[in-house]
Amino acid sequence: MVGMLAAMPPPATLPAQPGDAVSRARGDACPGALRLHRADDGALARVRVPGGVLSAGQADGLRELAGRLGDGEVHLTSRGNVQLRGLGEECGGELASRTSEMGLLPSERHERVRNVVASPLSGLDGRGEREVRPWLSALDALVCASEEAAGLSGRFLFALDDGRGDVDALGADVTLRARGDGDADLRIGALESVARVPADEAPRAALLAAEVFLEAAAGSGAWRVTDLPGGAGPLSDAVVRRLLAAGLPVAREVVPVAEGAPPALGVVTGPGDTDALSVGLPLGRAGAAQWRTLTDLARRYGSGELRLTPWRGVVVPGVERGRAAELLDVLDAAGLVTGPRSPWTGVGACIGRPGCAKSLADVRGDAAATVGAGAAVGTLPVHWSGCERRCGRPRGAWVDVVAGPDGYRVSVVRDGRRDAPPCVTDDPSVLATAVATARATGT
C-alpha cells in the first residue's frame, strides 16, 4: 500500500498567476497533465502523446476525462498532443492519476518535455525510407531516462521523419530524417547542414543533441533552438563534436529542409491487405460522439490504434481493404473532415473567445458560421485568429482572417507576405463572401 502511494503522481497544480502568456522572466509556463494552465474557459491540461500514437483504450480514457472533468471535447494540438479544456481547478489529482493509469504519464519529471512528432503514415502507405516507430519508442525511453532532458522546456520539439519530408518541414528543434541509404540525417533547427548518422544510433544522437542544446542554452533563457543567442550554427557544430566524442560515425552534408505536406485525407492505400483512414477534426476538436466513433472504428475494424497528426487530424491504421470506403462514409457522417467534399477542409482557427482573453471575437463560432453558409470550401487554407498573434497559423500560402476592433480583416498571405491590402468588414455576409473569394482565387 505504501509502495502504491509512493508511485502515485503528484496532483496537478495551477501556476500561481492567471493569464496565458508565457514569459521568459517567470520561466516555462507550458502546461502539461501535471501542471495546469489557467485560461478564460477554465483550466487547461496538455497530455503528451509522443508520435501521436494512442491505443483505442487510451483514447476512450481521454474522452471520459474530457466529459467528466472538462468541456467534453478532445482538442488536438499542432504537435499531435491532446488538450483537455474547461477543467475545474479541483480535478488535478484525478487527472494526474488517471493519465498515469492509462500509460500516458511514464515519467513525472519528463512529462512536459515529451514533444515528439512523427510521420503519421509511416509504414502504412509504402512511402518513406523506414518505419519510424522503433525510433519513436527508443527516443521516448531515452528522454525519460535522461536527467538532463528533464530540463528541456515544454516547447522543445523532436521530429521523426520517415524520409517523406512531412514532419521535417515543421521546424522542430531536433529532426531525424531517414535516408534511402540506411542512415539518418540529424538536423538542428532549420539548418540545411545536417549530420549523417547510422540509423540505429539516430535516437541516441537526437537525445545527445538536445542535451548539448541545454548546455548551450544555460543562462540564456532560450527554450528553443531559435532562441539561442548564437543561432543554430554553433549548436550544430557542438553537436557534431559531441557525437564524434561519443564514438558515432558522423558526416556533414547539405540537405534542404523538405517542403512537406500533411497526409491526404480519405482512404490511404497500404502495400498489404489493409488500408488506413485519414481524417481531420473540425477546428482541431472532437465532441464525445465523434471521438467515440473514431475509437470504436479503430477497435472494431482497425488495428486498435489511432495516430494523431500535427495537422490536427487522426489516422486509423489497419482497416480491412474492402470496408475502407464504407467506413470513411461513417466518419464523414459523424462530421469529421474526410476530404475535399467536407466543408471543413482547410479551415483552421485559434482558440479565440471564450478560451483566450486576448481574443476580440469568437473565431471558432464565426468560422463555423461561414462553413454553415457554404462559403468555406476553396483552394487555399484559411486560418481565423482572435488577435494579431495568429496562433497556429499555417505556412506557405493561406487566407488570413484576423479579428480587429473594426471587424475582421481578410487577406491572402504567401510565404509571410500579404498579396494586397485586407478587406475589412464586420458584416457576416460580406465576410463569408470575402473568405470564399480569397480561398477560391487567392487574390
Binding site for ligand SF4 (CB under 6 A): 350-352, 356, 358-359, 385-387, 389-391
Minimum CB separation of residue 191 from ligand SF4 in Å reads 28
Residues 6+ apart with CB under 8 A from 388: 402
Residue with cell 489493409: 274
Say if residue 181 is exposed, middle or buried (CB neighbours under 10 Å; 0-12, 13-18, 19+): exposed
DSSP string, 293-339: HHHHHHHHHS-SEEEE-TTSEEEEEEEEGGGHHHHHHHHHHTT-B-S
Q: Which is nearer to ligand SF4, 85 or 98 (CB)?
A: 85
Q: Which is nearer to ligand SF4, 295 or 385 (CB)?
A: 385
Nearer to ligand SF4 (CB atom), residue 239 or residue 387: 387
Measured from the CB atom, is 152 or 387 closer to ligand SF4? 387
Minimum distance from CB of 42 to ligand SF4 (Å)?
15
Rounded CA-CA distance 98/269 in Å is: 36
Minimum CB distance to ligand SF4, residue 35 (Å): 19
First CA to last CA across the chain, in angstroms? 66
Closest to ligand SF4 by CB, 211 or 362: 362
The nearest distance, CB 41 to ligand SF4, in angstroms, is 11
Rounded CA-CA distance 203/184 in Å is 10
CB of 342 to ligand SF4, least distance (A): 23
Q: How far is the CB of 311 from ligand SF4 (least distance, A)?
A: 18
Distance of CA 18 to the CA centre of its chain: 25
Q: Which residues contact 114 (CB under 8 A, 6 or more apart)?
A: 48, 50, 107, 140, 143, 144
Residue among 342 and 359 whose Cβ is closer to ligand SF4: 359
Position 149, amino acid: A
Of 282, 206, 286, the C-alpha closest to 239 is 206
Instruction: Answer for the pair 204, 142: CB distance below 8 angstroms, yes or no.
Output: yes
Residue 382 CB, nearest approach to ligand SF4 (Å)? 14
**Which is closer to ligand SF4, CB of 95 or CB of 356?**
356
